[in-house]
Amino acid sequence: MRGDPRLIAAAAKAAGGHALTLNLLGSYVAGVQRGVIEEAKAAVAELVEHGSLSGHDRAARMMESYVRRFEALADTPGTPTSGTPTPNPSPHHAEGVSSTRRGGESASGPRQAGREAHAIGGGAPELALLHLVGLFDRPAEKDAIDVVKAAGLGAPLAALGSMTPQRWSTAVSRLRAQRLLLPRDPARPHDLDAHPLVRAHFGARLKREAPDVFRATNLALYEHYKMFGLPEAFRTPEAYGILAYKASFPEGPLEDRIQQAISGELTEQNNSALPAIFWHADSDRMRGAAKLIGTSEFEAALAKFQPDDLAGMAPLFCGIAHGAAAGEHRLAYQEVYVPRVKRGNAAYIVHKLGALGPTLGTLAHFFDSPWSTPAAKLADRDQAMMLNNVAFALRAQGRLRDAEEASAAAVTSMKQLGDDNEVALNASNLSEVRLTLGDVKGAVAAAREAVEFADQTNNAFLQTVLRAKYADMLHQSGDVERAATMFAEAERLQVERQNELPRLYSFQGYLYCDLLLGTGGAGEVRDRAEYGLELYRQGGLTDLLSFALDTLSLGRAAHAARHLSEAHRTLDEAVDGLRKAGQEDDLPRGLLARAACLRDMGEWTAAARDLKETREIAERGEMRLFLTDWHLESARLLLAQLPRPTVKQGWFGGSKTVLPKLGAEHHAMRRQAEEHVQAAARLIEQTGYRRRDPEVAALRAQLDAG
């Protein structure tokens, strides 16, 4: 950069140390203004004038300087973009070009470049490419770029369809030299990418300046990703809709619904949960699509329709993003998220894949304001379901305050819709969030409400499960007797509903085992845990969390029976399983149990490591009950490391207890243990976590005994 040092210093200061702004300023001066700072006075003056802006906004100012330059060139017929930077691209930068000349011009020379510039405007190609990458929240793949090019849309994307390969390559190389596009990825040479702030800026600009183009382009990309990988015969709306119904309702009356769709009996008002095509299907095409049912082609298409890993779901995540950007939240929800990501009520991505991060990233597209205001274009019921879905995912990631807000909003929404089933489910979810946060009284109240609403339905499964969860709330509040009665009632309902399954299982089975361990029922817990694991092995249970929790119960039972080696091995498996399940609000259960086992094995360093992780999770998520448990187990670990009293035999058959002599280090450990017990007692008072009162009393007695 050449010119007045004072102006250079002022420009650097105006950039505010923001890396992208500095890069864009440097490339602007070096390329557009031939490296002379005085030539860029307008851009520098704008940065200086708005020196109080954030780094993001300063970068946006620099991007707009480029936009003005490109627009000026586009408005000048016959201008061959000679005023833009002219790097000397190497052959591997000039995609699709067999040879290049200085300035990145095609082999035909500047005359051809001038003719092309006259046809589409000198700066139009660069602007089109920048707005193209603004459509994506990730690198733009070649197939997706081809979809946009083929859409034949208006400005500022119109130039994409008319550029020759040579002009495309030249524009891409220039934008990379200007740091507006990222360098070429050798593994994917035809993809285009930019800094996230560049993508966001030009995406917002396209939406603001050309809303119809923005919507139409995103809609084309939605259709592209929605149909990605499906056989040609299943790319009609009717065939796709049949796949979506089968995936959402595996046991549903598919043939009956098809006949109703053909006869026009289905409407959005009375069948809003169905794929939209069922409300307005073409009768002939629906009949033709129905003929595919039961064929090997249908089964193969259904397997493609329901990918079983995150890699297979990647195009679906992209489709949802573009559908939401196009304003088609409802279509994206009904056609992609419910049947293919969530798989109806199976919550496949969470329970089978344990993928909470991708789940939240996808759900964000269905909110106008995460995580409190679902997209207004969703149906009322879908908005309420979205609050429920996101509350579960937030809770699993330890974001409990956000989860509590979403759960409470879901309860309110479902009450307004008059759906007792969903009110019950969401009230129960709310009770679990409140419990983990340390509001035991609020948790008990919400759990009681959940049971009351469940009892107004004919859903025996719901009545069973929510009674077990209510029983757990009572257990944590210290009301062991009522909790045991409620668990017994839940198990009685379980037997009435499924007499071939005589015991509570899955999460509710784990909760019952937790109560039984506290009342000396280690043998029964072992039997129940093995029962649950056998259900999993036989395919009766499929979610990762159920397997991990039953393994945890088995390990805790072995520890209670003093089978320490077996307990340690099993608890290792349980912690690994909880990590795979991806639910951070459950992981401390395993860490605390393993820490207690390691303590009894004398593996104090390893126990402290598990306790450290427990504390980090509990403090990050405001999990005050787990924080109480951390204090109590920390106190036990410290006391376990103190020298123990010894019994000395007397000369005439008597004995006496000899207290050990404690050094300074031991006295410090004892004081720390006392502080942990006091902190736990305070938390119990604050939260109502009365289940732990006996443990506080036992530790105080141990400390008093010296």
Task: Say how far apart CA 315 and CA 141 lie, in whole Å.
Answer: 11
Mean local confidence (pLDDT), 158-179: 91
Residue 452 in this model has a pLDDT that exceeds 60: yes
> Residue 192's beta-bridge partner residues?
140
Least confident range from 121-125, 229-233, 595-599: namely 121-125
The predicted pLDDT at position 92 comes to: 34
Apex 365 CA angle, 364 and 367, nearest 5: 70
500-548 pLDDT tens trace: 899 999 999 999 999 999 988 899 999 999 999 998 888 766 688 999 9
Task: Say how far apart CA 207 and CA 215 lie, in whole Å.
Answer: 8
Apex 702 CA angle, 698 and 706, nearest 5: 165
- Count of beta carbons in the 10 Å neighbourhood of residue 619: 13
DSSP 373: E
Task: Say how far apart CA 379 and CA 417 lie, in whole Å.
Answer: 11
The predicted pLDDT at position 268 comes to: 78
The predicted pLDDT at position 644 comes to: 75
Residue 108 in this model has a pLDDT that exceeds 60: no
Q: Is the pTM of this model over 0.75?
A: no
φ, ψ for residue 190, nearest 5 deg: -95, -5
Residue 124 in this model has a pLDDT that exceeds 90: no
> Residue 183's beta-bridge partner residues?
none
- Domain boundaries of the chain, sorted by first residue: 5-96+105-209, 210-346, 584-641+663-704
- Rg of the chain over Cα atoms, rounded to whole angstroms, equals 32
Residue 336 in this model has a pLDDT that exceeds 90: yes
Task: Say how far apart CA 478 and CA 484 lie, in whole Å.
Answer: 11
φ, ψ for residue 219, nearest 5 deg: -65, -40
Task: Say which residue the tokens 């490419």 belong to.
Answer: 129
φ, ψ for residue 276, nearest 5 deg: -60, -30
Mean local confidence (pLDDT), 244-273: 88
Task: Say how far apart CA 121 and CA 84 lie, in whole Å.
Answer: 13
Residues 194, 198, 200, 203: what is their CA dihedral angle, to the nearest 10 degrees?
A: -90
CB 592 within 8 A of CB 614: yes
φ, ψ for residue 615, nearest 5 deg: -60, -45
Task: Say how far apart CA 166 and CA 100 lie, in whole Å.
Answer: 9
Task: Say which residue the tokens 């796949």 belong to.
Answer: 243
Residue 284 in this model has a pLDDT that exceeds 90: yes
Task: Say how far apart CA 226 and CA 224 lie, in whole Å.
Answer: 6
Task: Say which residue the tokens 């016959």 belong to.
Answer: 78
Task: Say how far apart CA 529 and CA 553 lie, in whole Å.
Answer: 6
Task: Say which residue the tokens 């450990």 belong to.
Answer: 669
Beta strand 646-649 with 373-374 is: unpaired
The predicted pLDDT at position 457 comes to: 95
